[in-house]
């Protein structure tokens, strides 16, 4: 079984591989460097879990100006490279176009496939009885190796009418569209909250109109305005809490259903495309507490709005 643990932004943080009795977890340090995080009993880390480093060594160069304790030499990397790994034997040796005897590979994407790939005659382990094997494929690239401008000039020189498309325009449009969708979502939430406030105002006025005689008698016999407003507020706070709880539970169920559907389609081309387009539906503990915060906000707005409406009406009776 292979499970992808994603962060709050939907980016993959851990790849948890498990059999019946053993587990192996690959972590993406800085979101780009795959390293061994755990080997032992089956284990799935939390989305917000830490990424511990190995104990400090006598020497370790740091590439982070802000965090001198972070060093690639202290990472048990999956693919250590010459002059930039963790002082183990490099997993590969390559030379860049400029002649440098090292290359830096970073995470680009991943794919989970059903079954085993063709290993060219190498032995293939057997899956657990009654289960189907899965294969995790990590695609790595050197971000400094692509000379697009040189390739574009060479294509224009040697192939008439050829054009190099690096998808930069498409990616920029996709980011713009994603930002627009986020803004639309925020606008919808604001409109929903505004509609909720107006609904509470009208509902409070309707409740006061139905109990107008009782309210006026209480007001003129000396009952304080906060006392009357408190009774209405208690009623509407209970309604707001019930409605918010139902909506929050429905939201959590919807996210859980979406995550279940994506997990069930893992390894399928359509499921992989849906996950690439929409990201993960797993919201983690931060999303769970976010839903609780929204329920609390709805309840508080309900109480504040109903109280303000009642006090405004009572002031007009004076």
**Cβ atoms of 233 and 279 closer than 8 Å:** no
User: Which residue did the predictor score with more confidence, 53 or 20?
Assistant: 20
**Beta bridge partner(s), residue 110:** 138
pLDDT at 90: 73
Domain ranges in the chain with CATH number 2.70.98.60: 2-158
Confidence of residue 188 (pLDDT cuts 50, 70, 90): very high
pLDDT at 187: 93
**Burial label, 314 (beta-carbon count in 10 A; 0-12, 13-18, 19+):** buried
Q: Quote the DSSP letter at residue 127.
A: P
Phi, psi of 72 (to 5 degrees): -65, -25
pLDDT at 144: 65
**The domain 2-158 belongs to what CATH superfamily?**
alpha-galactosidase from lactobacil brevis (2.70.98.60)
Confidence of residue 153 (pLDDT cuts 50, 70, 90): confident
Average pLDDT of span 87-115 = 72
Integer Cα distance of 272 and 112 in angstroms: 9
Share of the chain above pLDDT 90, in %: 3
Integer Cα distance of 77 and 147 in angstroms: 27
Integer Cα distance of 166 and 107 in angstroms: 18
Q: At what angle do helices 284-317 and 168-210 cross, to 10 degrees?
A: 40
């Amino acid at each position: 079984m292979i499970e992808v643990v994603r962060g709050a932004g939907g980016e993959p943080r851990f790849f948890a591989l498990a059999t019946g009795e053993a587990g192996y977890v690959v972590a993406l340090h800085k979101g780009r460097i795959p390293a061994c995080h755990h080997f032992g009993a089956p284990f799935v880390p939390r989305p917000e879990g830490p990424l511990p480093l190995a104990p400090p060594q006598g020497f370790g160069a740091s590439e982070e100006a802000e965090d001198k304790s972070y060093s690639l030499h202290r990472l048990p990397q999956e693919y250590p490279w010459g002059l930039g790994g963790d002082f183990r034997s490099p997993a590969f040796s390559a030379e860049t176009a400029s002649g440098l005897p090292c290359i830096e590979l970073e995470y680009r994407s991943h794919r989970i496939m059903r079954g085993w790939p063709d290993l060219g005659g190498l032995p293939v382990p057997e899956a657990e009885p009654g289960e189907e094997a899965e294969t995790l494929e990590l695609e790595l690239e050197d971000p400094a190796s692509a000379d697009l401008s040189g390739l574009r000039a060479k294509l224009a020189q040697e192939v008439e009418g050829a054009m190099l498309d690096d998808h930069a325009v498409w990616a920029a449009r996709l980011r713009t569209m994603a930002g627009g969708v986020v803004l639309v979502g925020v606008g919808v939430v604001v409109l929903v909250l505004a509609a909720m406030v107006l609904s509470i105002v009208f509902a409070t006025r309707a409740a006061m109109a139905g109990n107008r005689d009782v309210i006026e008698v209480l007001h003129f016999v000396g009952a304080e305005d906060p006392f009357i407003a408190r009774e209405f507020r208690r009623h509407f706070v209970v309604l707001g809490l019930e409605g918010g709880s139902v909506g929050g539970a429905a939201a959590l169920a919807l996210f859980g259903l979406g995550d279940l559907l994506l997990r069930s389609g893992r390894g399928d081309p359509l499921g992989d495309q849906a996950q690439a387009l929409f990201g993960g539906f797993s919201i983690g503990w931060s999303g769970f507490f976010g839903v609780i915060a929204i329920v609390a906000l709805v309840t508080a707005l309900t109480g504040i709005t109903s109280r303000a409406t009642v006090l405004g009406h009572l002031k007009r009776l004076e």
